[in-house]
Amino acid sequence: MNVLMKALLESADIALFGHVNPDGDCVGSCLALRQYLQDNEPEKRVRVYLESVGRNLLFLSGADQVLPLEEASNFDGDLCISLDAGSLDRLGEAGEVFRKAKKTLVIDHHITNTHFGMENWVDGAASSCCQVLYELLDDEKISKPCAEALYTGIVHDTGVFRFSNTSERTMQIAGRLMSRGLATNEIIDRSFYQKTFLQTKVMAKVVGEARMMADSKVLLGVLTNEQMHVMGATSEDTDGIIDQLRLVKGVEVAIFAREDAPHVFKFSLRSNGKVDVSAVSTYFGGGGHRLAAGFTAKGELEDILNELMAMILSDKGKYGWNPINQ
Ligand code: 5GP
Ligand code: MN
């Protein structure tokens, strides 16, 4: 019996949590597990608490049942499961509820995961939390709506099967999920590629003003708080910008800094293979994966950037690579 089935054994009232600023993999894994339990263990009560669900993910079954994070403190059931979160603080307001729960389980794929649950099931090599979750479920018991959520999560965290975290196993699982008759092209277009006009304009603004650094090996995109106000943009309107920056020819590291509040910057980092951006982000109190990571920093942007560039360019070995010398 696997760690999930064991945790579920004596649990009748279950809460599912994901990380703040939930992405497709986070929402997908929470809704997939909710659906799976509803389909196969209908006597159990399962509630999902998330900070938000993006408009592009509202088509997923159960998205309309997601409860706001503020209500998590009312939960006094048997089991809390964290999906796609690398550390307790990533659960936001739900962190305190999770910490005090009778039974906790962490299911994740971040190599920086701090194993903050009583039980922890972390596969740092898996493409997505949805892939890790799939391995814990009985394939034959996966319904079409559950498969849809798992497939969506995998699509999002692999950038539609493009990123190097996409393995042979990822494709096998995607194939198994497709066999339920999913409208895969629609899922990919509507939830991943489709952008609103505002999102397209924000992307154009950031890409248009992007700054090349470190001998054209590091590309920086910035969206200031003032620009966000002027354009009427929220954090949801910046999806995909970092992936666009990463694709610029010759770039080894792409950086996107979004000023969510005055002097509070959310950094997204992407590497094309030579720099471990997870190590860099961990230094700044964040985390993630070797090739995709992030953190939040407060202060003057230029000061943070100086420190960040020093870290990325550090040739001390820990961060591996000095783009200027290679
Ligand atoms: P993104 O740049 O898309 O926000 O995040 C890329 C990856 O880094 C995701 O796997 C995400 O969970 C992780 N990540 C982003 N920001 C943070 C952060 O502030 N702390 C931690 N621990 N991980 C982060
Ligand atoms: Mn993920």
Which residues make up the CATH 3.10.310.30 domain(s) of the chain?
Answer: 197-325
Instruction: Give residue 315's pLDDT.
Output: 57
Q: Which helix or strand (DSSP H or E) is residue 30 part of?
A: helix 24-40
Output the residue whose Cα is nearest ligand 1's atom 22: 287
Topology of 3-193 in CATH?
Answer: inorganic pyrophosphatase (n-terminal core) (3.90.1640)
pLDDT for position 316: 43
Alpha helices in 168-240 (DSSP H): 168-178, 184-188, 197-208, 225-231
Q: Is the CB of 24 under 6 A from ligand 1?
A: no
Amino acid 316 reads: K
User: How confident is the model at residue 323, as a pLDDT?
Assistant: 45
Q: Ligand 1 centre from 294 Cα, in Å?
A: 4
Q: Which ligand is nearest to the CA of 21?
A: 1
Ligand 1 atom showing the smallest separation from residue 278 Cα: 8
CB-ligand 1 contact for 296 (6 Å cutoff):
yes
Q: How many helices (H) and strands (E) in the chain?
A: 12, 12
Question: Which atom of ligand 1 is the closest one to the Cα of 282?
Answer: 22
Give the phi and the psi of residue 105 in degrees, each rounded to 5. Answer: -135, 135
Contacts of residue 243, defined as CB under 8 A and 6 or more positions apart, other chains included, come to 159, 270
Ligand nearest to the CA of 264: 1
**197-325: which CATH topology?**
Diaminopimelate Epimerase; Chain A, domain 1 (3.10.310)
Predicted pLDDT of residue 314: 82
- Is the CB of 292 within 6 Å of ligand 1? yes
Residue nearest to atom 6 of ligand 1 (CA): 293
Compute, in angstroms, the gap from residue 308 CA to the centroid of ligand 2: 24
Low-confidence ranges of the chain (pLDDT < 50): 316-319, 321-326
**Cα 18 to ligand 2 centroid, rounded to whole Å:** 10
Model confidence pLDDT, tens digit, residues 160-210 = 999 999 999 999 999 999 999 999 999 999 999 999 999 999 999 999 999
| Nearest ligand by distance to the CA of 289 | 1
CB 301 within 8 A of CB 256: no
Sequence ranges of the chain with CATH classification 3.90.1640.10: 3-193
Chain position carrying tokens 């089935």: 5
Q: Is 290 in the pocket of ligand 1 (CB under 6 A)?
A: no
Give me ligand 2 centre to Cα 320, in Å.
24
CA of 5 to the centre of ligand 2 (A): 21
Count of beta carbons in the 10 Å neighbourhood of residue 71: 13
Contacts of 260 (CB under 8 A, 6+ apart): 225, 235, 266, 296
Which residue's CA is the closest to the ligand 1 atom numbered 16? 294
pLDDT computed for residue 320 by the predictor: 52
- Provide the phi-psi class of 299: left if phi over 0, else alpha when psi is between -120 and 50, else beta: left
Q: Indicate the residue type of 10.
A: E
261-278 pLDDT, tens digit per residue, is: 999 999 999 999 989 999
